[in-house]
Amino acid sequence: MQEESKALWNDAQARAARSAMNARRITIDPITRLEGHGKVDIFLNTEGNVDRAFFQVPELRGFEIFSLGRPAEDMPQITSRICGVCPTAHHMAATKTLDDLYRVEPPPTAKKLRELMYNIFMLEDHALHVYILGGPDFIVGPEAPAALRNVVGVIETVGLEVGKKVISMRRRLRELMTLMAGKAVHPVFGLPGGVSKGIAKEDISHFREVAQDALEFSRFTLQVFHDLVLKNDDYVKLITSDTYTHRTYYMGLVDENNAVNFYDGDLRVVDPTGGVFARFPAANYLDYVAEHVEPWSYVKFCYLKPVGWNGFTEGADSGIYAVAPLARLNAAQGMATPEAQKAYDEFFATLGEPVHHTLANHWARVVEMLQAAERIVELVNDPEITGTDIRTLPTETPTSGIGVVEAPRGTLFHHYETDERGLITKANLIVATQNNSARMAMSVEKAAKDLVRNGEVSDGLLNKIEMAFRAYDPCHACATHTLPGQMPLIARIRGADGEILRELRR
Amino acid sequence: MSGRNGRAGRILVLAMGNDLLSDDGAALHASRLLRWIVPENVDVVETSEAGFALLEFLEGYPRALILDAIRTGKQPPGTLLRLTQDDFAPVESPSPHYAGLPDLRTLADQNGISFPDEVLMLAMEVRDPYSIGEELTPEVSMALQDYVRAAADILMRWPRNGSLSHKHQAATGRAD
């Protein structure tokens, strides 16, 4: 009898604890204005302050398993279909991986066509983020009501003419991509050793016209950023506040002059003081990048192998690094084009070097738009761009290939192994958001801890927590991969010791 | 603006989804059958994009039928849901990637972009839009013919000249 009442008592205690825990759980779901899906869980302690906060991913796509046994040359098409957000990045990473797999070097014209295509994509995607995804935080303002923090609010703030400009520029860039690759969303363009189609001489004047307008548009965007963000002391304070600051390593692709490159080059890594930590070709990525697993997330947390995993901590002893626009600018020693270089100099003169402020990603993105536009102008005026030698036919028997590009959201690795027929036996993708996942988790937790006090959580406050990861422009649609390719879980609620108090299944 | 001038008087069928994500591709599978039997004034277009990007597809068409997979869990997989614009409350859009039709219309009006006067959505309740794979689940696969037939019925009832004089013919409410 005594045992029975003891059991009852314990059960009641457990239920009470669970219900108290439930009451203290704040969930922002779905994360608004974010590519793909995500979820944040914030656990409060009894005083109503943040105990821990988790950034979780409720969607899974077992892509690597799906690709087994398929012909490697299908990968540029298949991977670009992973999601509608960054198809061109996957397409190009896969294409470069095929070059490596078949040990084939594309002719110069093919490389330039790929780079042109890639810079057009970069510009178009960055413009989307600046004006539509991240823009609402700055252009409309972080404290504005949610109903206005969207594209309609942005256009109301910057004016109708600007809205028209953004929409028309994006459309014209996408039309160029369609001209080059059949379609903008799922390109049919990259082949091992080259590309499927060149640019006809009679079409190049149209490319030049759009390129020049794109450059004007990028200059204009930098001006908008200056006028609306940099001249606003409150925004600048927010960008440089400790809440949005992490001292980590940074990684990005650089050319032979250590300038930012989106399409090709070596990976350069700088430490939290800005000193160069490593410079390596993509083929050696496994010597530098390792993945850490946490029980509460399906996303693997990348870290620098030579430094090691030291928990979610900052500084030179922690292998956590970042990718994406801010990281690219930090990891490079300059931009590859003159106007972007000027903007880069101003960026670092204003914020110091390296820049550890996560929200500076938005500014870095604008600097990168300028480089993309300038590079597009260079390429469409290069006489070789209308060349007809666009393919080197592969003759080698394939075994293994590694390719890398800078996706708008950061470094993207593809790695395939095949049998002698070129059928995939192993595929590994490390996507941008995965490279960033550890720093992003820290950002969310830090913002939550700094902003949620005594249980007070307003809509504006939640938005500020979301701003911490929105700056990375994360896309989780392809960041997760597990064996069955299915997401069996929605939420886990954990106690202070990490024990699961409650589990909600799909 | 190329291609958009030719849209006046035509009807758009916009099939949405990702055909690598099992049932998420239900509408795409349906549209690949549907495209063989539609009247000549109908353009059938597939997309894996969402939200803001859809504006470019819808622009210039007076009428559009959107096909999509939906997972409410409230009815058996394979059930067809017919939704009109009135069913899409002008809620605060959580994301431009998931921008609702009212947001798109507002954006279009704001920027002088011509948006369809009539948009109807025919969605199919699906079982599994999360797993990687090109196959539909059996229930959804079995219901595909009904999906195509229902979409074709709507298109046949819409006037060939694309005018809006038969607005009342647009069905409302659920089809099940």
Please report the DSSP string for A307-351 in residue order.
Answer: T---SS--STTS--EE-SHHHHHHHSSB-SSHHHHHHHHHHHHHH
Nearest to B92 among A85, A146, A167 (CB): A146
Contact A129, A365 (CB under 8 A): yes
Measured between beta carbons, which residues in chain A are less than 8 angstroms from residue B100? none
Test B103 with A32 for CB contact under 8 angstroms: no
CB-count exposure of residue B132 (10 Å: 0-12, 13-18, 19+): buried
For B103, the enclosing helix (H) or strand (E) is helix B101-110
Q: What is the pLDDT of residue A504?
A: 34
For A263, the enclosing helix (H) or strand (E) is none
Distance from the A14 Cα atom to the nearest Cα atom in chain B, whole angstroms: 31
Mutate to test the interface with A, among B21, B24, B95 (most CBs of A within 10 A): B95
Q: What is the pLDDT of residue B87?
A: 72
* The pair of three-digit structure tokens given for residue A103, joined into one six-digit string: 């040990």
Q: A308 in the Ramachandran plot: left (φ > 0), alpha (ψ -120 to 50) or beta?
A: left
CA-only gyration radius of chain B, Å: 15
Higher pLDDT, B29 or A5: B29
Test B20 with A163 for CB contact under 8 angstroms: no
Residue A365 has pLDDT above 70, yes or no: yes
pLDDT bucket at A180, cuts 50 / 70 / 90: very high
Higher pLDDT, B81 or A214: A214
Residue A208 has pLDDT above 80, yes or no: yes
Query: Would strands A266-270 and A249-254 be described as parallel, antiparallel, or unpaired?
Result: antiparallel
Contact A85, A37 (CB under 8 A): no
A320 vs A250: CA distance, rounded Å = 9
pLDDT in tens, A13-37: 566 555 544 445 544 443 333 333 4
Half-sphere exposure of A175 (CA within 13 A, CB side): 19
Mutate to test the interface with A, among B18, B97, B110, B126 (most CBs of A within 10 A): B97
- Reported residue count of chain B is 176
pLDDT bucket at A456, cuts 50 / 70 / 90: low
pLDDT bucket at A495, cuts 50 / 70 / 90: very low
Region A206-226 average pLDDT: 96
Mutate to test the interface with A, among B24, B28, B48, B98 (most CBs of A within 10 A): B48
pLDDT bucket at A279, cuts 50 / 70 / 90: very high
Q: What is the pLDDT of residue B43?
A: 96
**What single-letter amino acid sits at A348?**
F
Half-sphere exposure of A163 (CA within 13 A, CB side): 20
* The pair of three-digit structure tokens given for residue A378, joined into one six-digit string: 């260079």
Q: What is the pLDDT of residue B169?
A: 39
Measured between beta carbons, which residues in chain B are less than 8 angstroms from residue A65? 132
How does A279-298 read in b/e, with b if 16+ C-beta sit within 10 Å? Answer: eeebeebeebbbbbeeebbb
Test A84 with B93 for CB contact under 8 angstroms: no
* The pair of three-digit structure tokens given for residue A160, joined into one six-digit string: 């109708």
pLDDT bucket at A60, cuts 50 / 70 / 90: very low
Higher pLDDT, B24 or A361: A361
Nearest to A106 by CA among A188, A201, A199, A191: A191
Distance from the B54 Cα atom to the nearest Cα atom in chain A, whole angstroms: 12
A481 vs A298: CA distance, rounded Å = 7
Half-sphere exposure of A74 (CA within 13 A, CB side): 14
Distance from the B171 Cα atom to the nearest Cα atom in chain A, whole angstroms: 30
Query: Would strands B118-125 and B63-70 be described as parallel, antiparallel, or unpaired?
Result: parallel
Q: A497 in the Ramachandran plot: left (φ > 0), alpha (ψ -120 to 50) or beta?
A: alpha
CA–chain centroid gap for A186, Å, is 19
Distance from the A503 Cα atom to the nearest Cα atom in chain B, whole angstroms: 20
Region A172-193 average pLDDT: 88
Measured between beta carbons, which residues in chain A are less than 8 angstroms from residue B56? 171, 174
Test A83 with B55 for CB contact under 8 angstroms: no
Nearest to A175 among B2, B49, B97 (CB): B2
Residue numbers in chain B where pLDDT is lower than 50: 1-3, 90-98, 162, 165-176
Angle between helices A108-128 and A204-225 (to 10 degrees): 40
User: Which of A263-267, A315-319, B118-122 has the lowest average pLDDT?
Assistant: B118-122
Contact A36, A476 (CB under 8 A): yes
- Three-class secondary structure of residue A424 per DSSP: strand
Q: What is the pLDDT of residue B2?
A: 39
- Three-class secondary structure of residue A489 per DSSP: strand
Query: Would strands A249-254 and A321-322 be described as parallel, antiparallel, or unpaired?
Result: parallel
Measured between beta carbons, which residues in chain B are less than 8 angstroms from residue A164? 111-112
DSSP at A61: -
Region A162-180 average pLDDT: 90
**What single-letter amino acid sits at A349?**
A
How does A393-403 read in b/e, with b if 16+ C-beta sit within 10 Å? Answer: ebeeebeebbb
Q: What is the pLDDT of residue A455?
A: 63
**Is B93 touching A (CB cutoff 8 A)?**
yes
* The pair of three-digit structure tokens given for residue B164, joined into one six-digit string: 């809006």
Region A384-407 average pLDDT: 97
ipTM of the complex: 0.73
User: Residue B37 phi/psi, 5° resolution?
Assistant: -120, 10
The pLDDT mean for chain A works out to 83
Distances A480 to A94, A303, A325, B91 between C-alpha atoms, Å: 18, 16, 22, 30
Q: What is the number of other CB atoms lying within 10 angstroms of the CB of residue A333? A: 15
pTM for the full predicted model: 0.83
Test A186 with B103 for CB contact under 8 angstroms: no
CB-count exposure of residue B138 (10 Å: 0-12, 13-18, 19+): exposed
Region A308-317 average pLDDT: 96
* The pair of three-digit structure tokens given for residue B89, joined into one six-digit string: 């409350």
B164 vs A505: CA distance, rounded Å = 46
* The pair of three-digit structure tokens given for residue A476, joined into one six-digit string: 């989780």
Higher pLDDT, A111 or A50: A111
Test A30 with B94 for CB contact under 8 angstroms: yes
Test A185 with B93 for CB contact under 8 angstroms: no
Q: Which ranges of A102-150 does DSSP label H, i.e. alpha helix?
A: 108-128, 135
Region A394-419 average pLDDT: 96
Q: What is the pLDDT of residue A9?
A: 61
Test B19 with A81 for CB contact under 8 angstroms: yes
CA A281, A286, A290, A293: dihedral to nearest 10 degrees? 130
Residue A325 has pLDDT above 90, yes or no: yes
pLDDT bucket at A432, cuts 50 / 70 / 90: confident
Residue A140 has pLDDT above 60, yes or no: yes
Test A150 with B21 for CB contact under 8 angstroms: no
Place of tokens 């995993």: A309
Inter-chain Cβ pairs, chain A and chain B, closer than 8 A: 87
Nearest residue on chain A to B113, alpha-carbon basis: A164
Contact A261, A340 (CB under 8 A): no
**Is B113 touching A (CB cutoff 8 A)?**
yes
pLDDT bucket at A475, cuts 50 / 70 / 90: low
User: Residue A252 phi/psi, 5° resolution?
Assistant: -170, 160
Nearest residue on chain A to B106, alpha-carbon basis: A152
DSSP class per residue in A6-58: HHHHHHHHHHHHHHHHHHTEEEE-SPSS-BS--EEEEEE-TTSSEEEEEEE--
Measured between beta carbons, which residues in chain A are less than 8 angstroms from residue B94? 30, 32-33
Q: Which residues pair with A404 in a beta bridge?
A: A413
Residue A502 has pLDDT above 50, yes or no: no
Test B112 with A164 for CB contact under 8 angstroms: yes
Region A69-78 average pLDDT: 92
**Is A160 touching B (CB cutoff 8 A)?**
yes
Distance from the B107 Cα atom to the nearest Cα atom in chain A, whole angstroms: 6
Residue A458 has pLDDT above 70, yes or no: no
Measured between beta carbons, which residues in chain B are less than 8 angstroms from residue A484? 131
Residue A268 has pLDDT above 70, yes or no: yes
Percent of chain A whose pLDDT exceeds 90: 55
Nearest to B120 by CA among B160, B91, B80, B92: B80
